[in-house]
Amino acid sequence: MKSNFKSNIFKSLKQRRKNQFTFSIPIITLLIYISLGVFFALLVFNIITIMLFKNVDDVNLKDQARSKYERHTVNRAERGKITDRDGNVLARDTEAYNIAVIVGQDFDNHIEDKNEVAKVLSEIMNMEEKEILKVIDDGIKNNRYQVEFGSKGRNIDYKAKRLVEEKELKGIIFTPVVKRSYPNGVFASHLIGMAELNEDGDMNGAVGIEKEYNKELTGKDGFKDYNVDSWNYIVPGTMESEEAVDGLDVELTIDSNIQLYLEDSLDDMQEHFEPEELFAFVADAKTGEILGAGQRPSFNPDTREGFGTSWLNMLYEYQFEPGSTFKVFTLAAAIEEGKYDPNQYYTTGNRQVMDATIYDWEKSGWGTITYNEGLQYSSNTLMMDLLDSVGPKKMLEYYQSFGFGTPTKSEFNTEASGQIVWDNELQQKTSSFGQTISVTPIQMIQGFTALLNDGMMKKPYVVQSVVDPETNEEVYRGQERNLGQVISKETAEKTMEEMSTLVAGSLDINSMYALDDYQVTGKTGTAQIYDEKTGGYLTGEYEFITSFIGYAPVEDPRIIVYYGIKRASKNKSETWDFGVSRGFNPLMERSLKYLDVKDVQNSQEIKTIKMEDITGQNIEDVDVLQNDLLKQVYVGEGTKVEDYYPKHDEMLPSEVLVIVTDGERTMPDLRGFSKRDALLIMDYLGLKSNFKGEGYVTAQTIKPGEPLGDKQKVNFTLQMKDPNN
């Protein structure tokens, strides 16, 4: 029994092992089954994910499929133009090109003749051949694909591009870009401003009117959206489009001729004095329109040369202590209050104020003199006496009524307000003669309009209109605006009568501002400069802001000119002896003659030269070309007028008229012409110009009468003339 029992157990164990061997799965097979299961699970998961989210590796499959058959093109809108009061373009969009040279030898169209490339490019860029070769050689040495030439290789015009392409040189490529063009260069630059492309390729205003009116100047881009089939044909019914809407045009009150005179004047002053700062502004005395505005340092918005040397728009943002030019407002307030008698006597010299002694600029004074004589001498003690007579509280009200201490609410959001500091007697007394108080040039001009318009103050403005170029509809029109009766008509007349003695009056002071053909008057200013380091004023000889704000003609003011210079580094003593007459006088006189202003106290009549369209006429048959008073420049030696510039209805004697004749164009003789005249003539002819020196042309690299052909650049040598000759 026992043996049978063991036998049965052994049989059972064998059977169990047999059964285990028969039904077991190999490990490899099991792993394969598991892998297949995971694979199909992931596959199903991915399919579900794609169906739900339409994404693979962060790529939207729907968008990818759409992009294969959908097309989107953008039609760029043109930025609006900025023009002067007569429609002359001051800023506009133009097509330009950036230059690059392919230097990588493994690429198609790479450079072959680097010397010839350098020679050709030097004719259209402001770079020497050796400079261009160095850039090319550096690129080859460093295994670069291509080289560029910085700002000198950007914004090349179409004419220059065609000139290079005609040479059929390999390796030169042009990339088209939109360029904001400023044809006059340094020309009311801080007022007009500058626009440039941002990272997104959009043109945005950076400074000036370009910035303040960026919204109006910027148009709305158009577009075309449509689908294509597999053969790249447009699918019917899928086209959607919108036309581009160009930006609005902004017309300024600036007069280009007056601005031209102003820039010439500043150039001469800059060369002669090399000051820290210069400014000059011209305004219509009757309306407050700004006719010209300029400053130094400045910049060329077309080339960006000088950009960043001074961000300040001095007309609106420059806060400074004006000095004695401010005294006319103290005078007007005293006259209005009946506290000024021109024949009343007072003692000059000094006044004790708090713990300070305040002197006249002539410390010993002039003894006992009349109020009018004190005004002619620009006496500080007179102003302090007038302040005492009117009273500090009342005088403050007058200064505020003239607009000081608050912005003029101009077109510029960054306009400064100036500051009336009136906390104690010392501040009040020094403010009465233009120290301690700070103003802006636009505030001074605004205040003067009240004196010259029977006491009614005018709001200065610089935007004449904003116009839709498509419909010619005026969106905005600038206009004369009265700000209020600051003083009575009688007071304004008496103030002007007193001011008429300030230039070549009974004491013959400030005669350097007198003009032969017009009676001019105004107020000089020699203001101390605040020193931020010490908290006091700069010390030393000629550490001043010297200025003059004047108007003409005296009997019927037409324009106001405000001229200033800060810290001359050359010919310093002249700023004390002659003020800013070197710049003020020609600017005032040329502007008045251009505006055909007659001085009622001068019988000499200023005659303009009438112009008509002379295109296509024989030169010998054109009467105006026989007028020796007109400065004529001929381009070519033909007998007929092919074109001419400028196309004005009237011209002043000594103005430049450029006549292009039929036949071959030749280089005109520009010796004796001013830098600005030469620049304008060259711009009109489409030639680049480089200048060495300042003043008037004494030499030119293309000789007079030499055929221009495909020449692109002229170098001029300039030299100053003796202003007394």
Q: What is the mean pLDDT of residues 135-147?
A: 90
Residue 214 has pLDDT above 50, yes or no: yes
Residues 590, 619 share a domain:
no
Residues 617, 561 share a domain:
no
Half-sphere exposure of 494 (CA within 13 A, CB side): 19
The answer to whether position 472 is within a domain reads: yes
In angstroms, the CA 84 to CA 99 distance is: 32
Residues 268, 131 share a domain:
no
Residues 636, 503 share a domain:
no
| DSSP code per residue over 326-385 | GHHHHHHHHHHTT---TT-EEE-SEEEETTEEEE-SSTT--SEEEHHHHHHHT-HHHHHH
The answer to whether position 272 is within a domain reads: yes
DSSP 323: G
The answer to whether position 194 is within a domain reads: no
Residues 618, 545 share a domain:
no
Enumerate long-range contacts of 232-240, CB under 8 Å, 24 or more apart.
235/69
CATH number for the domain including 514? Answer: 3.40.710.10
In angstroms, the CA 678 to CA 680 distance is: 6
More confident residue, 722 or 498: 498
The answer to whether position 398 is within a domain reads: yes
pLDDT of residue 454: 97
Report the share of the chain in percent with pLDDT over 90: 55
pLDDT of residue 287: 97
More confident residue, 652 or 62: 652
pLDDT of residue 272: 95
Q: What is the mean pLDDT of residues 287-298?
A: 97
Residues 711, 581 share a domain:
no
Residue 298, classed as helix, strand or coil, is: coil
pLDDT of residue 426: 97
The answer to whether position 230 is within a domain reads: no
The answer to whether position 40 is within a domain reads: no
Structural domain of residue 703, as residue ranges?
609-719
Domain end point (choices 181, 197, 225): 181
Residue 722 has pLDDT above 70, yes or no: no
Amino acid at 8: N
Q: What is the mean pLDDT of residues 8-31?
A: 57
Pick the range with the lowest mean pLDDT from 50-64, 226-240, 455-469. 50-64
Q: What is the mean pLDDT of residues 355-374?
A: 95
Residue 5 has pLDDT above 70, yes or no: no
CA distances to 296, 569, 575, 602, 634 from 541, rounded to whole Å, are: 22, 11, 11, 40, 49
Q: What is the mean pLDDT of residues 384-389?
A: 98
Residue 319 has pLDDT above 90, yes or no: yes
Using 50, 70 and 90 to split pLDDT, how confident is the model at 723? Answer: very low
The answer to whether position 217 is within a domain reads: no
Using 50, 70 and 90 to split pLDDT, how confident is the model at 563? Answer: very high
Q: What is the pLDDT of residues 683-693, one digit of tens each?
A: 888 888 888 87
pLDDT of residue 50: 59
Q: What is the mean pLDDT of residues 348-367?
A: 95
Domain end point (choices 534, 563, 594): 594
Residues 702, 561 share a domain:
no
CA distances to 62, 71, 235, 242 from 238, rounded to whole Å, are: 18, 10, 6, 14
Residue 21 has pLDDT above 50, yes or no: no
The answer to whether position 221 is within a domain reads: no
Q: What is the mean pLDDT of the chain?
A: 88
pLDDT of residue 156: 87
Give the phi and the psi of residue 41 in degrees, each rounded to 5: -65, -45
Residues 491, 351 share a domain:
yes
More confident residue, 624 or 130: 130
pLDDT of residue 228: 80
DSSP 44: H
CATH number for the domain including 111? Answer: 3.30.70.2110
Residues 626, 585 share a domain:
no
Q: What is the mean pLDDT of residues 508-534?
A: 90
Domain count, the chain: 3
pLDDT of residue 24: 55
Q: Give the helix/strand (H/E) hosting 35.
A: helix 27-53
Q: What is the pLDDT of residues 56-96, one digit of tens each?
A: 555 555 655 566 678 777 888 899 999 999 999 999 998 88
Residues 641, 553 share a domain:
no
Domain end point (choices 116, 151, 181): 181
Residues 476, 383 share a domain:
yes
Among 305, 7, 317, 328, which Cα is nearest to 191's? 317
Rg (CA), the chain: 38
Residues 408, 509 share a domain:
yes
Q: What is the mean pLDDT of residues 232-248?
A: 86
- The size of the chain, in residues, is 725
